[in-house]
Amino acid sequence: MRGRWPLTLRGTGALALAVIALIVAQRAAIPELLYFGVLMLALVMCSAASALAVRATGEVVRSAAPEVVEVGGISEVELSVRVSTALPTLPGRWSDALPAGLDGRAEGAFPAAASTLRRTGTPVRLRYEVRGAVRGIHSVGPLRVSTTDPFGLIRRRFAVGRATEVTVAPTIVELAPLPSSTGEAGGTRQSSALHLGQGADNLVARPYAPGDSMRRIHWRATAHRDTLMVRQEEQESSPAATVVLDRALARWSPAAAEGPGRDRAFETAVSACVSAVARLVHEGYTVDVIDSDGALLADPVDGGEDAEARGLAASFATLHARADGPSRRIVPAAASAMLGPVVVVTGRVEPDDLLSLRAAAPRSPLAILLAVSDVGPAGDLRTTTGWHATSLTPGGDVARAWEEATRPEDARVGA
């Protein structure tokens, strides 16, 4: 009732006094009370007329820092509000509409506004914090302002500005470095140099260009062509890794296909996926992120580009499970043929999956499997599949599961 009733407490009291005064004046024949009642009633009606005739409008500029917040992260929202009104208003309240995917207290006191007939109103600065609760793209706003007329009798409510989108990305968990033996075989620390040609005398040569080192002159090619030639520069191979996120609906609950935040297990898997990408990129690998059917989920992320890894996490804000493909494979053929590390994040592992997993394990120098499910698989995944594998409960510790999966076998035995 309070939200619909247009009168303030003062206005409600004035209207009640006017009605009581008119009733008592009629029964007791007191002219003074009649005048008082009419005056109070006229005051309320004038206030109502001013609220109906003079509409307050405004504009708002809303910004969030950061614009992309992780699940559980904090973003500060700042608003610059400019109200236009012909009549001055008393102090009131403001509130910003927050969706279910964001938590916070977006309300407070709104200062009095002067008439803007002859001058431009001074912008009002407002701030509040929101916490990312559910992955996705959420709309914040519009801003709603509630003020009163100059007498404080009638509430004047109006919406200001439009909604602003805030992206809630999956959480990137800090993961432990890869085992030292794996790191030495790949990443930026051991990028392999490939020569164009065979042997020092058979290197491909090109004409000399200003700035080339004289020590790179290819004397045999120079004598043969009668022009100064230099050895072709070495080419650095880019070590590659693959992260597979199994989105097949058969491995998740049906809610995973309805949208972000519906299936806790799938949310944990998405967080594990982007965390693995961030770790591999930090190690220097160029990472392909694919689905279990082999389809790319994003552009490859170059090694060392940590900002691109976070950008990939933002692009996964609306990712959801999909209908099952005909193959029902956990590891696509493209990933099992990779020479670099392969990280697979999946849901329920069925007994029928063990044979294909065991066949794909030897094809990668580091095959990591994270199975996210409420029901643990039968037997030890590491033993039955040959992968560096572990199971992860929905909402569980991704960093701990990663450390367990990547821990060397001798360390596991001694633990």
Output the average pLDDT for the chain: 82
Classify domain 240-414 by CATH architecture.
Answer: 3-Layer(aba) Sandwich (3.40)
Task: Render pLDDT for 168-208 as a digit per residue (tens, 0 to 9).
Answer: 999 999 999 988 654 444 444 444 433 333 444 445 678 87
Percentage of the chain lying above the pLDDT 90 cut: 37
240-414 shares the fold of 57-169 = no
Task: Render pLDDT for 331-368 as a digit per residue (tens, 0 to 9).
Answer: 776 655 566 899 999 998 888 888 888 888 887 888 89
**Any idea where the domains of the chain sit in the sequence?**
9-53, 57-169, 193-236, 240-414
Q: How many residues does the chain have?
A: 415
Radius of gyration of the chain (CA): 34
**In contact, 247 and 331? CB cutoff 8 Å:** no
Buried b (16+ CB within 10 A) or exposed e, 16-36: eebeebbeebeeeeeeebbeb
**In contact, 406 and 388? CB cutoff 8 Å:** yes
Residue 383 CB neighbour total at 10 angstroms:
9
Three-state DSSP class for 270? helix
The answer for residues whose C-beta is within 8 angstroms of residue 151's C-beta and 6 or more apart is: 10, 11, 43, 47
What's the per-residue H, E or C state across 239-264? CEEEEEECCEHHHCCHHHHCCCCCCH
Task: Render pLDDT for 380-397 as a digit per residue (tens, 0 to 9).
Answer: 777 778 889 898 999 999
| Closest to 113 measured CA to CA, from 125, 103, 101, 121 | 121
| Closest to 343 measured CA to CA, from 297, 249, 284, 277 | 277
Three-state DSSP class for 287? strand
Query: What value does the mean pLDDT take over residues 112-138?
Result: 86
Task: Render pLDDT for 225-244 as a digit per residue (tens, 0 to 9).
Answer: 888 888 765 444 568 899 99
| Closest to 241 measured CA to CA, from 189, 304, 192, 300 | 300
Fold of 57-169: Immunoglobulin-like (2.60.40)
Percentage of the chain lying above the pLDDT 70 cut: 84
Query: What value does the mean pLDDT take over residues 76-86?
Result: 87
213: exposed, middle or buried (C-beta count within 10 Å: 0-12, 13-18, 19+)? exposed
Whether the full predicted model's pTM is greater than 0.85, yes or no, is: no
